[in-house]
Amino acid sequence: MKIQNLIILLLSIIVASCSSKENITDSDWVELSDGKIFNNWHTYLSDSVIGWKVEDGAFVYYPGEGNSNNGLVSNKSYTSFILSLEWKVEKGGNSGIFWGVNETKDYSVPYLSAAEIQVLDDDIYGQEDTANFNHMNGALYDMVAPTKLYAKPTGEWNHYLIEINYDENVGNIDLNGNRAISFPLAGPEWDTLIYNSKFKDWKGFAKTKTGPIAFQDHGTKVYYRNIKIKEL
C-alpha cells in the first residue's frame, strides 16, 4: 500500500474514533420520547403521569394539576450513560434533572436521594451573581458551579448533553455545546463536594449509582423534548 493511501486510511480511522458522542444517528442511542406519549415514563412513586402533558412534541409540566412533587421518572434504571435532551422554562421557571434516583417510599421526592443538574430561569439570580452560579444552569446544584453561564434567554430552547460515567469516575455537563462542568462521581473529591453542600447531613443522598432519571416538579411550568440516552 502506498504511504499516501496508508496515511489517508489512518486519518479516516482517527476521525471515526473521535466522532462526537452526540451523534444521534448512532444506533446505540435510544429514544425516550416520541413527542406523542409517555411510554417510558411515570410520575414519582406512581404509575400515572398526572400533571404532565405532551404538547408540540414536548413533555410539559403544569403546576397545580394533580399532586405536588410530580417529578417525571424514567421506567428504566441506568448506571453509566450519555443523556441528550432539550429544555426550556418560562419567567421564574425552576426544574432539574436527576440521575440515580432511589425511588422508594423512604424518600418523598427525587431530590432527597439524587444529585441535580439545574434547569432554571437564570434571571432569578442575574448574570452577574457569580456567588449563585452553583444554583444556576450548567451547575450540579449546590455542589459544582460553572465558571460561565451558557443558557439562552428565558423562554428559548436549550440543549444538555449529560455524561455520567462510573467506569471513568467522571460526570460531564455540556450546555448548548459548551462544557459547563466536570466532576468526579465517587471518592474523596466527591465526598468533599457533598460535605461542602446543603446535602452534608442528608441520609441516603447520592448513594445510588443505578437508578432512574427524573425531571423535577418544582412548582413551575417546564418543557422537555428530544430525550435520548446511550448506555455506556
- Does residue 212 lie within any of the structural domains? yes
What per-residue confidence (pLDDT) applies to 64?
Answer: 81
- Does residue 204 lie within any of the structural domains? yes
Q: Which three cell numbers stand for residue 174?
A: 455540556
Edge-to-edge strands of the sheet including 41-43? 41-43, 72-74, 214-215, 94-98, 116-120
- Does residue 112 lie within any of the structural domains? yes
Specify the number of domains making up the chain.
1
- Does residue 148 lie within any of the structural domains? yes
Query: At residue 223, what are phi and psi to the nearest 5 degrees?
Result: -125, 135
- Does residue 18 lie within any of the structural domains? no
Q: Which domain holds residue 113?
A: 28-231
Question: What's the half-sphere exposure (Cβ side, CA atoms, 13 Å) at 124?
Answer: 17
- Candidates 139, 164, 141; CA nearest to 78 is 164
What per-residue confidence (pLDDT) applies to 66?
Answer: 62
- pTM of this prediction? 0.87
- Does residue 69 lie within any of the structural domains? yes
For the chain, which ranges sit under pLDDT 50?
Answer: 5-20, 22-24
Query: Domain holding 177: CATH number?
Result: 2.60.120.560
Stretch (H or E) spanning 107: none
What per-residue confidence (pLDDT) applies to 27?
Answer: 77
What per-residue confidence (pLDDT) applies to 60?
Answer: 97
